[in-house]
Amino acid sequence: MTTLSERISQSAFDGSRLRVVLLLDLHDGAQQRFLEAYEHLRNQVASVPGHITDQLCQSIENPSQWLITSEWESAPPFLAWVNSEEHVKMVQPLHSCVRDTRSLRFSVLRETSNVAALAPEPPKGRLQANPRVGDGVVRHALTFTVKPGSEDKVAEILAGYTSPEARVDDTTRLRRTSLFMHGNRVVRAVEVQGDLVAALRHISRQPEVRAVEEAINPYLEQDRDLSDPNSARVFFTRAALPAVHHVAAHGTQPTGVRRHALYYPAKEGCGMALARMLARQDELAADDPGCPVAGSTIFQRDDIVVRLIDLRIPLDSDPMLSLGVRGPRKTAVLRRLLDTDAAGQLSSDREFASFLSRSDMALITDRRASDS
């Protein structure tokens, strides 16, 4: 029987320190401009809650290759900062210097130090207790809003495109794309076997996908110009909806499982706490062999929380189970974290059923690679 740590392949909630690695390839001659922009940026980053330290490194072989590493007390404060509008504006001066970037995030599992050189104060945060094994699939999502009144047209466009080639390279392939809408909000979740960054770049270059992106441009609430690298970068930075937790239930996935996406209207400032609570509830459910939730992925950015679940039963068979709530105490916690104007009081079975119905996102398309 697999352990819970083997079934959790992604998690921002293990409490361990976080190491962030940012690889950068600068434009020719941009080194000094980049250094000046970084000097201004690092003083602001140093005051962000949860930040411990960072280093700026330059390659000894290629002066255009740079590396920024930073350490954080845990993943949540970093994610809250990197997904904020403040961060988007803060890093704008760097973009004109950079040809290409890649960001990698790691929980600190083990560390070895020179005892004689140890600082008198121990590092903040703890180490990750166990390595995650999971299923070898990386999950990510994008979200954006369209102009009110255009929802049906956008849904038609997003449902009608030709699927891109699943194979990215010898080690990476697209496994699944699930697209949902909630009112005028679009959520596109992808599952990738291998390198997520390589897969996202592969998707963006496919003619079928580019045609769809151009077709929905007139309906977006946030303007973008995909021919302008900076405009595209800012849009997709704001649209990123990271997977903060994924857990699978016991055993192999049976047939007859249906995918749903639930939108949770978090109270202002409570998005991360809500995602953490739902993650813990899904871990408890995954430990129950009889639970009909085959798998759960939680996506969160600011106060946008989306829970993608694969269910063996109809969604409305057990509203509290489908919503990821176990018992009256957790119901009270959920109620405190939700926007009550949207969620109601959740004090009766009828109110839970009504909230579930309002949270259920409309499935636009769910596409899987032939061998997934």
Looking at 64, 91, 107, the residue that finishes a domain is 107
Whether 182 and 284 map to the same domain: the answer is yes
SS3 161: coil
Helix or strand holding residue 44 (H, E) = helix 31-45
Same domain, 97 and 149: no
For residue 358, give the H/E element and its range: helix 349-359
Residues 270 and 179 in one domain: yes
Amino acid (one-letter) located at 330: K
Judge whether residue 286 has pLDDT over 80: yes
The domain of 263 spans 137-368
Q: How many structural domains are present in the chain?
A: 2
176 Cα distance to chain centroid? 16
Within a domain: 236: yes
Q: Which residue has the higher pLDDT, 57 or 204?
A: 57
Q: Is residue 57 part of a domain?
A: yes
Co-location of 191 and 55 in the same domain: no
Cα(156)–Cα(8) distance, integer angstroms: 35
Neighbours of 78 (CB within 10 A): 21
- At 247 the three-state DSSP class reads strand
Nearest to 299 by CA among 8, 4, 7, 12: 12
Q: What is the pLDDT of residues 12-22, one digit of tens each?
A: 999 999 999 99
Query: Do 210 and 95 lie in a common domain?
Result: no
Residues 99 and 142 in one domain: no
Question: How does DSSP classify residue 365?
Answer: E
The residues facing 245 across adjacent strands are 11, 298
Q: What is the 3-state secondary structure (H, E, C) of 162-223?
A: CCCCCECCCCCEEEEEEEEEECCEEEEEEEEECCHHHHHHHHHHCHHHHHHHHHHHHHECCC
CATH number at residue 57: 3.30.70.100
pLDDT average, residue stretch 145-168 = 93
The last residue of one of the domains, among 59, 89, 107, is 107
Same domain, 172 and 286: yes
pLDDT exceeds 80 at position 145 = yes
Q: Is residue 3 part of a domain?
A: no
pTM of the model: 0.91
Residues 55 and 152 in one domain: no
121 domain-assigned: no
Report if residue 255 sits inside a domain: yes
Look over the chain and give the mean of its residue pLDDT values, rounded to a whole number.
89
In the three-class reduction of DSSP (H, G, I as helix; E, B as strand; rest coil), residue 248 is classed as strand
Same domain, 85 and 169: no
Instruction: Tell whether 27 and 88 lie within a shared domain.
Output: yes
158: domain CATH number is: 3.30.70.1090
Handedness of CA 196, 199, 201, 203 (dihedral sign): negative
Whether residue 11 is contained in a domain is answered as no
Same domain, 212 and 88: no
Per DSSP, what are the bridge partners of residue 263? 306
pLDDT in tens, 65-91: 999 999 999 999 999 999 988 888 888
Q: Tell me the residue type at 125.
A: G
Residue 321 lies in a domain: yes
Residue 248: strand pairing partners: 295
Is the pLDDT confidence value at 115 over 70? no
Q: Are 139 and 243 in contact (CB under 8 A)?
A: yes
115 lies in a domain? Answer: no
Same domain, 75 and 166: no
